[in-house]
Amino acid sequence: MPETIIRMSGVEKSFGDHQILRGMSFDVHRGQCLGLMGGSGSGKSVTLRHLIGLIRPDAGLVEVDGQDLTKISRRELAELRKRMGYVFQDGALINWLTVAENLALPLEENTNLDAAEIAAKVQEKLELVHVPDTGQKFPTELSGGMRRRVGLARALITDPEIILYDEPNAGLDPRTARSINHLMRELSDKLEVTSIVVEHRIDCLKTVADEVVFLFEGQARVRDTAASFFQPTDPELREFLGV
């Protein structure tokens, strides 16, 4: 049996009188890339925020690598987060730092590596995402696609076991989006990391995901392989996809 590294079971979450998650349940196996797709308000972003411990559920279990995020201490959560990378929609780079300085920051704050070791690791990650000559540039000098690649390099800088992607195609033209999708798939295969990709673009999930989950009204309504997910029989998923 494949090892489960992420599990949500019966998770409920409300903000005031507005209930977002209504028994969210799914798991992710080690090394798997799972796509999450759903309409506005279906719970995609709230689900990701649960998985990095930014919010706690009102009920249910949120477990990462055997640790219940509702019960671990802040120190244990901080240590767990070091094993996770988060790729934001806009790259979330600090504009007054160079690309190299952006990537170096997590290593300076969380490791005992010396300056030479940090510089070598930064260059290694930039080469991994195919932008080796961007280290001395500032984020404002980069194209949208290059910013996304640098954002991915920063997520990888601590060699995480888990990567969470929040709409990695947002704001990108189709050609650039395709290149980012293929890079994500390449990294998933090469590094054997576990990934969750929140995205509404079909091309992205067809390329990067092993399986896709359709979130509807705060629940995981449909789960299928990427090859079969986009030929659905479920009426709500058919309506969402327009097929």
Please indicate, yes or no, whether residues 27 and 120 belong to a single structural domain of this protein: no
Residues 143 and 236 in one domain: no
Q: Are residues 166 and 236 in the same domain?
A: yes
Q: Looking at the structure, do residues 115 and 73 belong to the same domain, yes or no?
A: no
Residues 108 and 224 in one domain: no
Do 109 and 139 lie in one domain? The reply is: yes
Residues 178 and 237 in one domain: yes
Half-sphere exposure of 192 (CA within 13 A, CB side): 1
Based on the domain organization, do 195 and 123 belong to the same domain? no
pLDDT by residue (tens digit) across 171-229?
Answer: 888 999 999 999 999 998 898 899 999 998 899 999 999 999 999 999 999 999 998 99
CATH number of the structural domain spanning residue 210 = 3.40.50.300
Q: Are residues 123 and 190 in the same domain?
A: no
Number of domains in the chain: 2
Residues sharing a CB contact under 8 Å with residue 141, sequence separation 6 or more, in sequence order: none
Q: Based on the domain organization, do 50 and 146 belong to the same domain? A: no
In this predicted model, what pLDDT tens digit does every residue of 62-120 receive, in sequence order? 999 999 998 898 899 988 988 999 887 766 789 999 999 999 999 998 888 999 999 99
Residue 47 is part of which domain span? 1-83+162-243
Q: Which residue has the tokens 């990709």?
A: 197
Cβ within 8 Å of residue 59, ≥6 positions away: 10, 11, 12
Pull the structure tokens for residue 4.
């489960």
Residue 105 and residue 67 share a domain: no
What is the Cα–Cα distance from 192 to 187, expressed in whole angstroms? 8
Residues 75, 106, single domain; the answer is no
Q: The whole model's pTM is what? A: 0.90
Beta bridge partner(s), residue 31:
none
